[in-house]
Structure formats: C-alpha cells, structure tokens
Amino acid sequence: MGKIGEWFWRFLAAVMLFAVGWSIWIFYQLNPPPLATNAAFEAAAKARANQSVKGVIAPAAAAAPAAPSREPPVNADKLKFTDSLASPVAEPADRK
C-alpha cells in the first residue's frame, strides 16, 4: 500500500505542476506584450506632428483643358437579357 500512495502523490504533484504551467500560459496569452515599443509610438507621434495638413481640397487649375468624353469600354446593349429563347447564332446552310 505504501508504493501506491507514493506514486499517487507524485502523479498529483505532476498534475498540479501542469495546471500551474497551463494557468501561466493562459495568463500570458490573455495579456501579450506590446508589439510596438514606446519609442515607436513616440516616433509616430512626432511624424504626425510634423505633417502640415490643411484639410482643404483645392480646385484644379482653370487652365487645364477638359478631358474629352470617351466611349464606354463595354456596349451595354449586348449585356441585356433577351425576351425570347431564340438561338443567337444562325446555323450554317449545309447542316440542314
């Protein structure tokens, strides 16, 4: 009976060690370290501060010529559904 009790306590110690390790792993996964360091956040803040953004879109220069209107790349009439089930391609005369 003494040997069974000793192995039981060893097994229980191993299970508890595994449970503590698993708990530490879960805690680490829920609270990961930041991917960017504080120096990266400071550099991004300085870069944003140095930008001169007006927030206004200026109209194009009046001297530029107007772009000529072009034909659309696809004929829209060819994309419409037909009302009948007729074959769009006529059969050759020699097949009849």
Q: Who contacts 88 (Cβ-Cβ below 8 Å, separation ≥6)?
A: 82
pTM above 0.75, yes or no: no
Distance, CA of 85 to CA of 66 (rounded, Å) = 45
Q: What percent of the chain has pLDDT over 90?
A: 23
**pLDDT tens figures, 14-53:** 999 999 999 999 999 998 777 778 888 888 888 887 776 6
The secondary structure of the chain as a DSSP string is: -HHHHHHHHHHHHHHHHHHHHHHHHHHHHHSPPPSS-HHHHHHHHHHHHH------PPPPPTTSPPPPP---SS-GGGGSPPSS---SSPPPGGG-
Higher pLDDT among residues 68 and 5, named by residue: 5
Q: Where do we find the tokens 């001297």?
A: 63
At 88, the pLDDT band (50, 70, 90 cuts) reads low
At 1, the pLDDT band (50, 70, 90 cuts) reads low
Higher pLDDT among residues 32 and 2, named by residue: 32
pLDDT of residue 25: 94
pLDDT of residue 43: 87
